[in-house]
Structure 1
Amino acid sequence: MISNSETLESVMSRLLDFMSQFSFFHGTFQTNIPFLSLLREVKPSVVESGILDPSICIVIQGNKKLIIGEKSIEYGAGNYISSSIDMPISGQVLKASLEAPYTAIRIIFTSEEIASVVLEANIKPRQENQLREGAFVGNIGLEVLLVFERLLHLSSDSQTAAFLAPTMKREIIYRLLIGEDGGVFYNSMLLHHETSGISKAIHHVKANFDRSITVDQIARIGNMSTSTLHHKFKAVTTLTPIQYQKQLRLQEARRILLGGGVDVTIAAFQVGYESLTQFNREYKRLFGLPPLKDIQTIRAKKT
């Protein structure tokens, strides 16, 4: 039962107060609940490319811009961004300061978890025939935010969280499905996986990102023609299959280089490149800097 005095603003205010007690200044903080993390940035950022993992991320304070393909979306407190696949995106924090940092709460999930809730709760959202991009921005409901609040408080008790947190995660998915943007959430997060075969194609590229694969092979995996594959793959990811593979390779190479102990040549070959020149050129095109300079810049920001 929700109190009449409860509003999105009042709950977000409490969340900000509680989150300020966690001992991290900026970046990502992993809570004791494996699928729950907190995000905080204390100043606006430049546009950065990355991979949005399957997740739901609710903005509590501040504003951010998301670039998906050719579409640019600005969102802020009271919005959530959700993705059902590893989605190549670019993003930029627009509004953040020491006094009012950009703050968000994120949970990771799988399409199978969403499908389980849909089936067990007998939810029948309006289905669309048109494929949607695998990520979108929606409006969060008060009921969902209250579950996030309970979940965050639960993170301080590891034993209780291990038992109750999975149930709360399912409640969050359930309330998103029946909420204001439930139809869009369902059609973006699940429907294309069930009806188009594109999910198999995306998973195949992801599992073999470091290998040489052809568009014909990917099309056969998805049981579709190459022209249909291109159309559906780009509708969901905003990229062609080969462009998607390239983004996965470059993001993994960046992660490897940040881990240290490996030089640029080894990182390039580990992710599937046969030409170091091509790797350096494509890395700079995506991230704006050559590999070593990019890694130095990231590390400098963290100190």
Structure 2
Amino acid sequence: MDANNAPSLQDTAAYRAELARILMQRIPAPGTYETAIAPLHVIRCDAPSEPVHGMHRPALCLIVQGRKEIGLWDERYLYDPLNYLVVSVTLPVSGRVIEASPDAPYLCIRLDLDPAEIAQLIADAPPAGVPGEPTRGLFLDRIDAPLLETMLRLVRLLDTPRDIGMLAPLALRELYYRLLRSSEGRRLYEIALSNTQTHRVTRAIDWLNRHYAKPLRIEELARLANLSTSTLHHRFKAVTAMSPLQYQKQLRLQEARRLMINEGLDVSSACYRVGYESPSQFSREYSRQFGCPPSKDVNRMRHIA
């Protein structure tokens, strides 16, 4: 081991240990919890989990203890306390905890990202290099001691609520700065400024999230994004790993599943609510996505709950 790196590695281990101690005190039971710092959420899981499907908003995710697998279309990402995950655009993903126990639970911090704050910081601290082509809107990077220490200072503020209003914005700004200065910081530049190709793709993503039940006309979506149809397909897939039509299908299926599980809709009602015209097509695509027909899947998920 390089002697120059040893203190940094020791510091990183100490910061993780303190973060784990703080989180164990604040979240005694499994679940996802909001905190007094608005963009900050903390998560605990005491056992490996079934895959959970959902729309992941832009966020920094930092595992303190345990391991997790994230699925994006046909891609898989494994991460642990040595790496952090950044989701830079809204993406339909699946996630499952693969390492957790009651004695050593999975502990994670999720910090929702604010593109406007990032854009404001870029003016003062531009990242090292900007990609010429849009890049995947989800990536892993190696964590380092300065970023972890900044996160620790932010989490410590939960124990002194009177300091949050003054000091949390400073810690958040420093976290954004460290992300921008990382080896993958240029990807955040892409989502934060309005004159980039990725930002144009983000317009299309936002429209699909608001209008997923409507018929998809690629020409209209391309016009909204101010791109040609061929360029939209190329850029959209570079960012999301899927085409606009595949992205819309993910949105529809996930929303239909939520409606059936959380709101008690029957299969046909959920099918039509999310924009399908054929219940048989809906059932086929649902089975491919979630591994079994809608009714069976909903009963299974309610039993697990």
Q: TM-score range by the shorter chain?
A: 0.7 to 0.9
Whole-Å Cα distance in 2 between the matches of residues 68 and 17 of structure 1? 31
Spell out, residue by residue over 1:104-128, the C-alpha distance to the aligned partner (whole angstroms, 9 max, x if none). Answer: 1001123222212212x23242112
Instruction: State which of 83, 97, 116 in structure 2 corresponds to 1:112.
Output: 116
CA deviation after TM superposition for structure 1 residue 178, in Å? 1.6
Bigger shift: residues 223-232 or 38-47? 38-47
Aligned pairs, number? 297
In structure 2, what is the equivalent of residue 142 of structure 1? 145
SS at match of 1:7: helix
Instruction: State which of 267, 270, 280 in structure 1 corresponds to 2:270.
Output: 267
In structure 2, what is the equivalent of residue 256 of structure 1? 259
In structure 1, what is the equivalent of residue 292 of structure 2? 289
When the two structures are superposed, what TM-score results if normalisation uses the length of structure 2?
A: 0.87
Runs of 4+ residues over 4 Å off in structure 1: 156-159, 187-193
Q: Partner amino acid for 1:186?
A: L
The 3 A distance-change label for structure 1 pair 19 and 193 is farther
Whole-Å Cα distance in 2 between the matches of residues 234 and 76 of structure 1? 26
Whole-Å Cα distance in 2 between the matches of residues 246 and 80 of structure 1? 28
Whole-Å Cα distance in 1 between the matches of residues 98 and 206 of structure 2? 33
After superposition, the CA RMSD in angstroms is 2.4
Does structure 2 conserve the Cα–Cα contact (< 8 Å) formed by 1:83 and 1:189? no
Spell out, residue by residue over 1:157-191, the C-alpha distance to the aligned partner (whole angstroms, 9 max, x if none). Answer: 55543444333222211111123x24354366547
Whole-Å Cα distance in 1 between the matches of residues 28 and 275 of structure 2? 36
Spell out, residue by residue over 1:214-272, the C-alpha distance to the aligned partner (whole angstroms, 9 max, x if none). Answer: 11111111222211111111111111101111111222222233323433333333222
Q: Does 2:169 match 1:166?
A: yes
In structure 1, what is the equivalent of residue 106 of structure 2? 102
When the two structures are superposed, what TM-score results if normalisation uses the length of structure 1?
A: 0.87
In structure 2, what is the equivalent of residue 211 of structure 1? 214
Whole-Å Cα distance in 1 between the matches of residues 276 and 91 of structure 2? 21
Q: Partner amino acid for 2:299?
A: Q
Q: Using the aligned pairs only, state the percent identity.
A: 36
The 3 A distance-change label for structure 1 pair 282 and 69 is closer
Whole-Å Cα distance in 2 between the matches of residues 157 and 262 of structure 1? 44
Structure 2: which 5+ residue stretches go unaligned? Answer: 1-6
